[in-house]
Structure 1
Amino acid sequence: MTFHLIDDIPISAIGHAVGHAMATHLVKNAKFCVRTRKDDDDEIDDDEELVIWARRFMLFFHASPVAFGGLTSLNIGNLRFGESDISSILTTCKRLKRMHLYNCDSGDSSTLQVEHANLSELCIVYCGLEQVKLNWLPQLTSIVFDGWIDFQDPLVLGHVPLLESVSLTNVALSFNKMVKLSRFLGSASPRVLKLGFRSEKIWVQPECPTQDLASVFRQLRFVNLVKLPEGYDLTWTMFILEAAPLLKELYMTVWDDLCSMEMDEEKRKKQLYSENKGVEWGLAAADFHHHSLVTLVIFGFESEDYAVDYVRRVMVAAVNLEDVFLYSRLELECGNCQDKKPTRFAWTKRQKISLKKRITAGIESFAIIHSNKTIRADHKAKMLYPKCTHLDTTSG
C-alpha cells in the first residue's frame, strides 16, 4: 500500500484495516510505501517540516502495531526522527525483510545503528548520516548506501555474514579524503560491488594487493563502476582486477552527466568541487594476468587515447576475456546532454574497423570487440544493478 502523510487522509484507519487483515488471514508479503507531500518535487523539505512529517508517521506507527508487526517491506522518505524512533520501528517490524530510507535521519551528525533478525535488503539514500553501523544483521544480503557526510568510517560492518551485494555512491569534494575499500568494507566479502561517483572526483583509493584487500575481494564476481568522470585515466581500476581473482564481469559507465552536475563555476568554487577528478595509479603490474574475467562492458566509450589504452590493458591482462562491449554515451543521455556534447564514437563500418585495429594492434587476445549503438537489454539491466528506488511501489 502506498499513501501520503496528509491530515485529511485517515491513515490510522488504513493501519487498522491492514492489521485486521493480517490478524485474520495468512499474509505472506506486506509493504508500506509512505510518502510526504514533497516526494515528487525538486524542493526538499526544511528541517521543521521533516520533524513534523516524522511525528505524523510515528503517530501512525504507534496506532498500528499489528500492521507494522506483519510488514515485510517498508519504504519511507523525508522524515527527521527522534533518536530512538528507527530502533523502535525495527523492533516492532519483526518480519521485515526490506527497508528503504530516503532523506531520513535523527538530526545533524546522527548515527544509524541497525540490528534485525530478518532484514535482508537495506537501502539508505541521501540520509545525511555521519555514520551507519550494521551491528547485527544475520540475514542481510544487500545494502545500498548512497550519500554520506563524513568520509572517515561512514559505514561500520558488524555481523553481516550473508552480505553479497554492496552499492556505494557519493560525490567527493576537493577536501574529502579518498576511501580504502579494504577498510570501508571491513570483514565483508561481497560477490557484487557497485561504486558510483556522480561524474565527480574519484573517491576510491587504489591499493596495492594486501591480505586485507584480498579478503574483501576474494568472492567478487561482478563490479559496476558508475558515472566515472570523462577524460581521465582509467588505469587505477586495474587494482580491482589484481585483487579479485574470481571476477567475471566488469562494467563501467564513463559519463559527465551535465543535467545533474553542478555546472556553475562560481558555485563549484564556493562548494569546493574538485576540478581534478582523476586519480593516478602507476603501480599496476605490467605482467599481471587475470584468468577469470570474461566480459568487459563500457558505457559512454569514446575513441580517445585514454579509453583505447585502457581496453588494450585489460585485454592483455585478462587472458580468458571473451567479449568487449563498447557503447556510446548517447543512449544514456537526455536530449539536453546530447545537445551540449559532441560524440567521438565509431559509428560507420570503416570507423569501427579502424577502432578495432587501434585496440588490437600488437597484442594477442581472443576477445571479440563489439562496438554498438543500441545497448543490449541484459547489459542495460546489469548497468542499473544493484539499485534501490526509494519510492518504488512495484517490488516486494
Structure 2
Amino acid sequence: MDAFTGAVRALLTRVPPAEGVCDSLKVLFLSIYTSSPLSSIGRLVEDIVGLGNTECLEFCIFLPLTDPLGSDIEIGQEFMAFFRAYPVAFSWLTRLTLEYHAFRHSDITDLISTCGRLRHLSLRFCRLLDLHSTLKIDVPCSELQELEFVGLLCTRIELVSVPKLRQVECKCWYLENPPVCFGHVPELRVVILYSKANAWQEPFTLSECLSSSARNLSTLTLGFGYQMIWIQPEPPKQLTPIFRNLTSVFLSSIFSECDLSWTLFILEAAPALHDMALSRHSCIKTPKYSAEKTNVVWEPSKYLKHLNLKGLHILGCENEDKVTNYIRLVMERAVGLWLIQLYGENPCTYCDATNLERSKAEKASRHRIKEQLTHGSSSSMEIIIC
C-alpha cells in the first residue's frame, strides 16, 4: 500500500497549469484499502476536484487482507473520519463501493446527503451496529440512481424517498423478509433480488415489497439459489398497478423439482410483459440452515389471455415432462407467443453440473421437448435449441 499510495501521489500532485496535465482530469477511480494513508490521498483528490473539471469520481474501499472480519467497527469509524475530513472531495463523488464496514444508521444518511453528486452506492457485507434495526434511506434531494446491497446485515432496508433511483440490487440477506421495502421511487426501472432462503425466513408477496409509486418498473429479476421459492404468488389486483409497464422478467435458479405453474401469476399481473426467462437446476448441495424446498401452489386463471408476451426462454430442461407441460400452459394463455428458446444449463459453482454425460442427457431432453411441442402442431411458433 505504501507503493500504491506513492504512485497515487505522483499521479495526483498538481502540476503548474501551463503544463495542463491534471487540469483536464475528468475521470478518477481509486480502489483503496483502509490501511493506506487516506489523509494524504484525500488532500490530493480535493486539489484535483477543486479545479472543477472532474465528471466521475469513484472510491472503492476494502477491508485490508490482514485485518480480521471483526474489525469492521474500527474500519467503519476510520472511513467516516475520512469522509468528514474531506467534504470537498466527497461532494464530487459519483460512485462509492464499501466492503466489510459497520455503520450507525445516521452514517448512511449523512453520507448520501453530503455526497451531492453520488449516483451509485454499493454496500457489500456491511452491517448496522444494531443488527436488529432498519436502515431507512430518506434522501429526497439526492442524485442516487443505483443501489447495491450484498449481504447487508440489518433487519430491513426501507427506501423511504429516493426520487431519482433507477436500479436496486439486493443479494444474500440473512434476517427478515422482505429484505427491502420501496417508498417514493417514481423513476425505478430495474429490481434484482437474489438469495437462498433460510429456515427462519417466511415467503412474502411482492406487493409487500414493491411500492405503487414504482409505476415505471420495466425489468424484474428474482433468484432463488436452487432452494425454497421465497415469493408467495398473489392475485393481479395488488400487482397490476406496479407491473403495468413491466416488460422483462427473469426467474433465476429454480430447483428442478419445483412445479412452474406458479410463475404465471406474474404473467397475469403484467399486461405489457414481452419476455420471460427461467433458469432451473437440481443442485446436489443444500446449504446448512436452508429452508425446506416445497412446491408453490397457484392456479392460474382459466380466462387469462396474454397479448404481448413474445418470447419464453428456459435454461435447464431436466424433468422434461414438467417443462413440456409448463410450456403448453404458457402457449395456451400467451396468444401472441412466437419464440421459445431452450438452453443448456449454466455451470453450477456448488456441484458438478457440466460433466459430459449430464450435458448430453440434457441436450437430448431439449430435443425431445421440441419434438413433443411441434408434433401435430400447425403453429408458426419458432422453437430454438441453444
Using structure 2 for the length normalisation, give the TM-score. Answer: 0.84
Identical positions, percent: 30
State whether residues 151 and 174 of structure 2, in contact with CA within 8 Å, keep that contact through their aligned partners in structure 1. no
C-alpha separation in 1, matches of 2:101 and 2:348: 32
In structure 1, distance between residues paired with 2:126 and 2:349? 30
Please point out which of 317, 329, 333 is paired with 1:301. 317
- Structure-1 residue corresponding to 2:83: 61
1:176–1:119 CA distance, 2 compared to 1 (3 A): same
User: Shift of the alpha carbon at 1:156?
Assistant: 2.5
Query: In the alignment, which residue of structure 1 is the partner of 2:17?
Result: none
Q: Paired residue for 1:111?
A: 134
Partner SS for 1:31: strand
Question: Which residue of structure 1 lines up, in the alignment, with residue 372 of structure 2?
Answer: 358
Output one character per residue of 1:16-69: Cα deviation in whole Å (capped at 9) or x when no partner: 11111110131111111111125xx9xx954x3111211221222122211111
- Structure 2 CA distance, aligned partners of 1:252 and 1:111? 32
1:347 positional shift: 3.4
Residue 51 (1) aligns with residue 73 (2)? yes
Aligned counterparts, 1:92-171, within 5 A:
92-107=114-129, 108-116=131-139, 117-171=142-196
Measure how far apart 1:288 and its partner are.
2.1
Map 1:167-206; keep pairs closer than 5 Å. 167-187=192-212, 188-189=214-215, 190-206=217-233
Verify the 8 A CA contact 1:250 1:296 in the aligned structure 2: yes
Match of 1:338 in 2: 354
Q: How far apart are 1:357 and its partner, in Å? A: 2.5
1:4 is the counterpart of 2:27? no
Matched, 1:216 2:233: no
The residue type paired with residue 259 of structure 2 is D
What CA distance in whole angstroms lies between the structure 2 residues aligned with 1:148 and 1:203? Answer: 12
What letter matches 1:355 in structure 2? I
- Secondary structure at 2:263's aligned position in 1? helix
Contact 2:133 2:154 in 1 (8 A): yes
The C-alpha deviation readout for 1:294-328, integer Å capped at 9, x for no partner, is 11111122352111111121122211112111111
1:115 deviates by 2.9
CA contact (8 A) 2:170 2:192 kept: yes
Which runs of 5 or more structure 2 residues have no equivalent in the other structure?
A: 1-28
Per the alignment, residue 278 of structure 1 pairs with 295
How far apart, CA to CA, are the structure 1 residues paired with 2:188 and 2:138? 14
Q: Is it true that 1:242 corresponds to 2:268 in the alignment?
A: yes
Q: Secondary structure at the match of 2:83?
A: helix
Residues 308 and 45 from structure 1, CA distance in 2 versus in 1: closer, same or farther, beyond 3 angstroms? farther
Counterpart Cα distance in 1 of 2:200 and 2:349: 29
Give the partner amino acid of 1:20: D
Give the match for residue 377 of structure 1.
none
Kindly state the Cα deviation for residue 222 of structure 1 after the two structures are TM-superposed: 0.4
1:6 is displaced (CA, Å) by: 4.2
Structure 1 residues 251-295: Cα deviation after superposition (integer angstroms, max 9, x where no partner): 11112455xx545xxxx4xx2x233333122x2123422110111
Does residue 57 of structure 2 align to residue 30 of structure 1?
Answer: yes
Deviation at 1:150, TM superposition (A): 4.1
Higher relative CO (Cα under 8 Å, sequence separation at least 6) belongs to 1
CA RMSD of aligned residues (A): 2.5
CA contact (8 A) 1:253 1:298 kept: yes
Moved more, 65-74 or 299-308: 299-308
Letter in 1 for 2:307: H
Q: Distance in 1 between matches of 2:350 and 2:232?
A: 31
2:58 is the counterpart of 1:14: no
Q: How many residues align?
A: 353
The residue identity in structure 2 corresponding to 1:50 is: D
Cα pair distance change 1:286/1:345, threshold 3 Å: farther
The answer to whether the 8 Å contact 1:303/1:346 transfers is no
Please state if 1:73 is matched with 2:92.
no
- CA distance, structure 2, for counterparts of residue 105 and residue 90 of structure 1: 16
- Bigger CA drift: 180-189 or 122-131? 180-189
Partners of 1:354 and 1:154 in 2: how far apart? 40
Aligned partners of 1:230, 1:49: CA distance in 2, in Å?
41
Distance 1:106 1:31, change over 3 A: same
